[in-house]
């Protein structure tokens, strides 16, 4: 798959924060540094399932959290990885709320246009009947 560092960069700060809380700053920095290299390798070696496939983004997201696990030689417990995911998603909730607002806005505008068309059709039918 073609490498895009977006997810790793997006979640790097939150992942490092959790590692600092659980371990120390030096260990966290070391793991994050190794993770970036591992993440790139995992992405490039992954099967290309198509850039338009929404599952590709899920795969890139998941690999961002698998990379620190591998970088630690599997010494970071799954509970810590879970906390990294939780805090990372919490830190970008604004992005998803904006995205949802944008989707609802566009959907709402489309519905308003459809309602107006239906109202015009009904009024033209009513006028034709009279």
Q: What is the pLDDT of residue 116?
A: 72
Residue 92 DSSP code: T
- Residues whose CB falls within 8 Å of the CB of residue 18, separated by 6 or more in sequence, listed in order: 80, 83, 84, 87
Give pTM, 2 decimals: 0.68
Q: Is the pLDDT of residue 129 over 80?
A: no
Q: What is the pLDDT of residue 36?
A: 95
Mean pLDDT value across the chain: 83
* 1 or 62, which is more confident: 62
Q: What is the pLDDT of residue 95?
A: 67
Q: What is the pLDDT of residue 130?
A: 60
Joined together, the tokens standing for residue 21 give 């809380």
């Amino acid at each position: 798959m073609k490498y895009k560092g977006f997810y790793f960069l997006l979640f790097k700060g939150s992942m490092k924060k959790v590692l600092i809380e659980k371990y120390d700053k030096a260990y966290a920095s070391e793991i994050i540094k190794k993770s970036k290299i591992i993440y790139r390798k995992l992405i490039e070696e992954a099967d290309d399932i198509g850039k338009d496939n929404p599952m590709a983004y899920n795969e890139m997201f998941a690999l961002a959290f698998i990379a620190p696990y591998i970088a630690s030689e599997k010494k970071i417990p799954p509970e810590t990885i879970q906390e990294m995911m939780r805090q990372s998603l919490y830190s970008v909730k604004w992005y998803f709320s904006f995205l949802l607002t944008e989707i609802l806005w566009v959907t709402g505008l489309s519905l308003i246009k459809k309602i107006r068309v239906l109202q015009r059709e009904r009024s033209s039918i009513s006028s034709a009947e009279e």
